[in-house]
Amino acid sequence: MNFRGLIMMVLLSCAAANAEDLRLPDPLMMQDGRRVETTEQWRMERRPELIDLFRTHVYGRAPIGRPKDFAVDLSVTEKGNAILESVALTFSGPGGKGKVRLYVLRPKNAEKPVPAFLLINHRGMDTFDPSQMTNSSFWPAERLVERGYAAAILVAQDVDPDADDGFKNGVHGLFDDPAKPRAGDAWATIAAWAWGASRAMDYLEKNPAIDATKVAVVGHSRGGKTALWAGAQDERFALVISNNSGCTGAALSRRPVGETVKKINDGFPHWFCTNYRAFNDREDALPIDQHELIALIAPRLVYVASASEDTWADPEGEFLSCVYAGPAYELLGKPGVGATVQPAPETPLHSGAIAYHLRTGKHELAAYDWEQYMDFADLHWKK
């Protein structure tokens, strides 16, 4: 073994000791104790098992996929060098009709279908302009177009309002049976938004201007938790980007740093299924941890980003999830994050299929973050 190999081995064994200290579940160990040795076993057994565990205990179960009457109402306008598609995704359920807005700004004279970034926007319509003529770091649509990408933004509040409303509004009101008591694993708001992201993908994948094999789903904070859950379930997303997603996003739940399971369940009782409350102050009893959510994205690309002042989101815990998701990526033939120690600020790790950066500053989706996401996408999609 050469010197580099030796150093890597020592670093990995330090990280492994850390994983043991945290008593993290092993992504490559089935619930019944069998080790996952082959890609086939991962695909056919462990991946479905993990998805089911996250559905049962954390995010809840969406009762429906694409509704039978799912339809699209489109209007197209020109915006300088770009085309703006204003889309209404429509559908209905036993509780009535739903309509979700999606805006796609794309380069006007592209020679071939372009890759796209889909932002799950949990903020109100007033915080952004779909073509982003005002300069917003949260949604730099014009900049994305300038770099050759389509910029798609989903109005998550149309899927489900971000309020503890007893699951009366949004898609819960449409698809849940009011005559039945709510199950402990019934979907809540994060799962509803993830469902919405998949419906947006239904539109993007049929759009001849978009390269559907290169669609990134992006979210910040609560939207970042959603992006990870959407990407874990829906394998059409080729890249999943979680910006400052923190507790029940990229951060490990077993690390008692920043927001905890109890704090998030108390503060936001409508985000996760009610079964999740059984783990308040009992993170050790969870059959999963958040590195396994990242493992569910393997072998596809995933990007986790933290901010140095965002201690509530536990930046180091976000990074360690990337490290401990590594074995699943390696089993599937892809390199993980390529480091076991959190990098210094402004030193992005882009060498593996798991990318990570720490930005100096506060909890936000900043111009710096977007530039890194596009650099990473360029690396893989514009070879």
Q: Which residues are catalytic?
A: 221, 363
Binding status of residue 264 toward ligand GCU by CB under 6 A: yes
DSSP label of 349: B
**Contact between 48 and 177 (Cβ < 8 Å):** no
Site string for ligand GCU, 208-247 (x = CB under 6 A): -------------xx-----------------------xx
> 120 by DSSP, 3-state: which?
strand
The residues, any chain, with a CB within 8 Å of residue 104's CB and separated by 6 or more, are 84, 85, 87, 116, 150, 151, 152, 153, 204, 207, 210
Q: Rounded to 10 degrees, what is the CA torsion of 259, 353, 12, 1?
A: -170
Give one word for 330, left, alpha or beta, with left for phi > 0 and alpha for psi -120 to 50.
Answer: alpha
Identify which of residues 259 and 292 has a Cβ nearer to ligand GCU in the complex.
259
Least CB distance from residue 363 to ligand GCU, whole Å? 7
Identify which of residues 185 and 310 has a Cβ nearer to ligand GCU in the complex.
310
Q: What stretches of the chain show up as alpha helix (H) in DSSP?
A: 3-21, 39-41, 47-54, 141-146, 156-159, 170-175, 189-205, 222-233, 261-267, 291-295, 315-331, 367-381
**Contact between 169 and 163 (Cβ < 8 Å):** yes
How far apart, in whole angstroms, are the C-alpha atoms of residue 210 and residue 375?
19
Binding status of residue 98 toward ligand GCU by CB under 6 A: no
Identify which of residues 294 and 328 has a Cβ nearer to ligand GCU in the complex.
294
Under rule CB under 6 A, which residues in 298-327 are in contact with ligand GCU? 312
How far apart, in whole angstroms, are the C-alpha atoms of residue 93 and residue 116?
29
Identify which of residues 131 and 242 has a Cβ nearer to ligand GCU in the complex.
242
Least CB distance from residue 81 to ligand GCU, whole Å? 32
Binding status of residue 259 toward ligand GCU by CB under 6 A: yes
**With contacts defined by CB under 6 A, how many residues of the chain interact with ligand GCU?**
8
**Contact between 321 and 298 (Cβ < 8 Å):** no
Least CB distance from residue 49 to ligand GCU, whole Å? 26
Identify which of residues 19 and 247 has a Cβ nearer to ligand GCU in the complex.
247
- Binding part of the chain for ligand GCU, among 12-20, 147-155, 203-211, 259-267 by CB under 6 A, reads 259-267
Residues present in the chain in total = 383
How far apart, in whole angstroms, are the C-alpha atoms of residue 110 and residue 250?
35
Binding status of residue 189 toward ligand GCU by CB under 6 A: no
Identify which of residues 83 and 261 has a Cβ nearer to ligand GCU in the complex.
261
Site residues (vs ligand GCU, CB under 6 A): 221-222, 246-247, 259, 264, 267, 312
